[in-house]
Chains A and B, each alone.
Chain A
């Protein structure tokens, strides 16, 4: 450990920008970005499954409200949604006295809410497409077995829809990571926020932003390989058989 810290200090020697303090900011930023993106994706996924089922419903009164929601959140920039949620809520009279204020006061939760609603809208549409694409033969076979619509959804449609949605969903996860860079406009110290801080303090745009770009690249690679692994496991039946 001592060796490592000596090595680390040597590495940073003669360098004005990447001091232990600024690296600390980048580390905090990495933690914030990871938390924000992970929680938003998790909550978005949980919301998206029932919404996708509702969106695929034959009944207009069930599918239309969900369609409106996805239309609005996919039809407006995420940055605008974030501004509305962060700066907009303070114009609601008396919001400071409600139980919601401790949550809305911080920059983290408004950003989390905006990101969750946004990714849930995209994920809903991804899943809906996958549900719609279920082979007619599978549904007929399920009916022939006498499955109720509920059982058919649970056993036949959803498992195959999730598999089909996987590659598109992997893209959505990467987009979400990249979109999270706008969190710094509401003062959140995410990765981009840390880079902006270093940039503004040392007037070093190249160093500050290239370093943070490298971190985003590493994160993207991790996500990419995770999804590649998942696809390999879950879509094994679709690969050509080798004797």
Chain B
């Protein structure tokens, strides 16, 4: 019994030491779900790139810390953060109430709408309960698009949930799903920007209701890392100030988007 107590005290002391060391954060590990072009993806030669990646690296430079990117599938990205597999999530995560109960968000660094994408020859003209009746919709599992599509159209249409955007697009190409609901820049880059795109946006850009689309995209941290959130907020303000942010934004979204 004594031994057990002693062991647990040592363990507690060690973890406390460990936690303290981690709290000063001179090295930050970001969790990211790849691919999600243009937010985060790999170039043909395998290098990790994208808006989040470049901005994250710029923030690290600003904060004078080193950083590292850890790949994690989307549906486990919050549990992975809480399990300390990485220290921050920078993966186009939109702030919403459900997530706020689990993680601490920094200030928002980007706002993007979501949109429905379907084949050019699709007969759909608008998105409504009537027009989606009986169709098959594709979403990435656990995204706000999943929640939105499930809650609004889950009763009249079949919602198919994919682990990655890649799998989903493959199934739309195969004509297994009629239409997909994704974050607009991702849909634009992966579906519209290719030379002979066979897809188009259907209906309008969607960024309401607030419960689903929230306050824009931010970095997510463990709730206790308030000091780190403060440092991130200062860094975000600084890169916006000195023009780094605009350069990165232009690189991935072009000028006309603003």
| Chain A residues close to B by CB (< 8 Å) | 87, 90, 96, 105-107, 185, 187, 193, 196-197, 199-203, 205
Contacts and interface: CB of A to CB of B under 8 A. Distances in A.
A87 B79 contact: no
Interface string B113-144: 00000000000000000000000000001100
Contacts of B48: none
A201 B82 CA distance: 15
13 contacts: A90-B170, A96-B175, A106-B176, A187-B160, A187-B162, A187-B171, A196-B141, A199-B79, A199-B142, A200-B75, A200-B76, A201-B98, A201-B146
**Residue among B99, B102, B142 with the highest chain A CB neighbour number at 10 A:** B142
Nearest to A101: B175
Nearest to B82: A203
Contacts of A200: 74-76, 141-142, 146
Interface string B168-206: 001101111000000000000000000000000000000
A87 B170 contact: yes
Nearest to A107: B160
Nearest to B141: A200
A13 to B, nearest CB: 19
A196 B78 CA distance: 13
Contacts, number: 49
A106 B171 CA distance: 10
Interface in B52-94: 74-76, 78-79, 82
B24 to A, nearest CB: 27
Contacts of B110: none
A85 to B, nearest CB: 13
A183 B127 CA distance: 30
Given A187-B161, A197-B161, A90 B79 contact: no
B75 A196 contact: yes
B14 interface: no
A199 B75 contact: yes
B174 A90 contact: yes
Contact of B78 (A107, A193, A203): A203
B237 interface: no
Contacts of A201: 98, 142, 146-147
A203 to B, nearest CB: 4
B173 A197 contact: no
The 6 A-B pairs with the shortest beta carbon distances in the complex, nearest first, are: A200-B142, A90-B174, A200-B75, A187-B160, A203-B78, A200-B141
A209 to B, nearest CB: 11
A107 B102 CA distance: 33
A96 B177 CA distance: 12
B175 A105 contact: yes
Contacts of B146: 200-201
B163 interface: yes
B87 to A, nearest CB: 17
Contacts of A202: 98
Nearest to B177: A187
**Residue among A87, A105, A187 with the highest chain B CB neighbour number at 10 A:** A187
